[in-house]
């Protein structure tokens, strides 16, 4: 793995201040993305994974606000940049693809219009060169006969094709980092497999890093090098993909993995493992560990105290089970 840190997020906290109270959507989150690496952020809805990625992109809408922390991209703090400078970063350096390929494209313009616009905004190319580049990008993402398809409107394309167009648009200015927010969630499984293979292939071809936001641990296992698991706005476990799937340690990660119906050959029709209960109300978070109510291995201490992130077993874990001071620490 490359040692060159591309993106470093330090102690990022993002709040949503609303009439009914303040939601701490992201709490003290730190992670790094190295060059050419695929880092996945996994979590269920409301875990703050999308808010974290929007914070990095500077696309957070009020009432959302970054309240503290630093986002260092190649050493520059993105939070300190002016709007114009940030616009230069977006697209040229960091770009993003969104979950809904249906709604992220403008329905009244052709694909060519939209692709050429983004190419011309960020690169000094004349219209002809920009159009040629647009065709090249479509070819890169595996759209057959791109010269013809580029004249299409978004509604003439299928979901998978639209997601490819989105990807082409995001890649058109050679970003170093691609943020993919649930890129396959709206797609069918066979198309999902195509898009994931594409992202993997492009990573190899143009050497970009990918920050993959997803709720699907299967997608993570297929693509990611390292994984950050989030629960209620906090990082609860961070490990390499191999470590995490071989031996998930945080009770939440473990529960998540066990509750996925496996494809393994089991004849016994035993019930699926389930994490009991529900995610706590974000306006009314418990005082201690956010996972306390649902945890199998909770201790009295977890009720009142928030566990810090421990470095244990070659990873980061937010759980008192891995407190080095704890006598007889969990195996």
Partner 1 sequence: MTEPLIQLKHLSKFFPVDTDLLGRTTSLLKAVDDLTLDIFPGEAFGLVGESGCGKTTVGKMMVNLYQPTSGEIWFEGQDLAKLSTRARRGRCCDIQLIFQDPYASLNPRMTVGDIISEPIRINHLVRRDQIADRVGYLLNAVGLSANYRNRFPHEFSGGQRQRVGIARALAMQPKLIVCDEPVSALDVSIQAQVLNLLSDLREEFGLTYLFIAHGLNVVKHISDRVGVMYLGRLVEVASKRELYRNPLHPYTKALLSAIPVTNPEQRTKRILLEGDVLSPIDPPPGCRFAGRCYAKAGCTGCACESEMPELVEVSPGHFLSCYLFDEGRRVLAGEVS
Q: Where along the sequence are the contacts to partner 1 (CB under 8 A)?
A: 44-45, 144, 158-161, 188-194, 196-197, 215-219, 221-222, 224, 241-242, 245, 255-257, 259-263, 265, 267, 269, 271-276, 278-279, 294
Bridge-based pairing of strands 94-97 and 177-181 is parallel
- Tokens 């999308």 belong to which residue? 50
Query: For residue 286, what are the CA distances in angstroms to 247, 254, 282, 289, 298?
Result: 28, 21, 9, 7, 14
Residue placing its CB nearer to partner 1 in the complex, 8 or 293: 293
Judging by beta carbons within 10 Å of its beta carbon (0-12, 13-18, 19+), is residue 155 exposed, middle or buried? exposed
Could you tell me the smallest distance in angstroms from the CB atom of residue 218 to partner 1?
3
Could you tell me the smallest distance in angstroms from the CB atom of residue 243 to partner 1?
10
Residue placing its CB nearer to partner 1 in the complex, 124 or 278: 278
Locate 35 and state its tokens: 């060059």
Residue placing its CB nearer to partner 1 in the complex, 72 or 254: 254
Contacts of 193 (CB under 8 A, 6+ apart): none
Could you tell me the smallest distance in angstroms from the CB atom of residue 188 to partner 1?
4
Residue placing its CB nearer to partner 1 in the complex, 63 or 218: 218
Could you tell me the smallest distance in angstroms from the CB atom of residue 177 to partner 1?
22
What span, in angstroms and rounded, lies between the C-alpha atoms of 157 and 316? 43
Could you tell me the smallest distance in angstroms from the CB atom of residue 130 to partner 1?
27
Residue placing its CB nearer to partner 1 in the complex, 108 or 278: 278
Helix/strand/coil for 249: coil
């Amino acid at each position: 793995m490359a040692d060159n840190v591309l993106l470093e997020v330090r102690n990022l906290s993002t709040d949503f201040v609303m009439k009914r109270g303040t939601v701490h959507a992201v709490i003290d989150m730190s992670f790094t993305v190295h060059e050419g690496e695929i880092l996945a952020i996994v979590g269920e809805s409301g875990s703050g994974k999308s808010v974290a990625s929007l914070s990095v992109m500077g696309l957070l809408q009020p009432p959302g606000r970054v309240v503290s922390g630093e986002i260092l991209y190649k050493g520059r703090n993105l939070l300190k940049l002016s709007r114009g400078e940030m616009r230069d970063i977006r697209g040229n350096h960091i770009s993003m693809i969104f979950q809904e390929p249906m709604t992220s494209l403008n329905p009244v313009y052709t694909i060519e219009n939209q692709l050429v616009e983004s190419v011309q905004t960020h690169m000094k190319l004349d219209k002809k060169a920009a159009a040629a580049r647009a065709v090249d990008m479509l070819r890169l993402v595996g759209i057959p006969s791109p010269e013809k398809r580029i004249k299409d409107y978004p509604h003439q394309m299928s979901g998978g094709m639209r997601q490819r167009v989105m990807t082409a648009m995001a890649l058109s200015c050679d970003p170093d980092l691609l943020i993919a927010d649930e890129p396959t969630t709206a797609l069918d499984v066979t198309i999902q497999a195509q898009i994931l293979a594409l992202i993997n292939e492009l990573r190899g071809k143009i050497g970009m890093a990918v920050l993959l936001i997803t709720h699907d641990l299967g997608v993570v296992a297929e693509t990611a090098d390292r994984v950050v698991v989030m629960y209620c706005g906090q990082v609860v476990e961070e490990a390499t993909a191999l470590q995490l799937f071989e031996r998930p340690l945080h009770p939440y990660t473990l529960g998540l993995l066990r509750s996925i119906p496996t494809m393994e050959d089991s004849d016994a029709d035993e019930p699926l493992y389930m994490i009991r209960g529900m995610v706590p109300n974000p306006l009314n978070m418990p005082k201690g560990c956010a996972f306390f109510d649902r945890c199998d291995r909770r201790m009295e201490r977890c009720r009142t105290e928030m566990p810090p992130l421990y470095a244990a077993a070659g990873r980061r874990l937010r759980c008192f089970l891995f407190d080095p001071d704890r006598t007889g620490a969990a195996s």
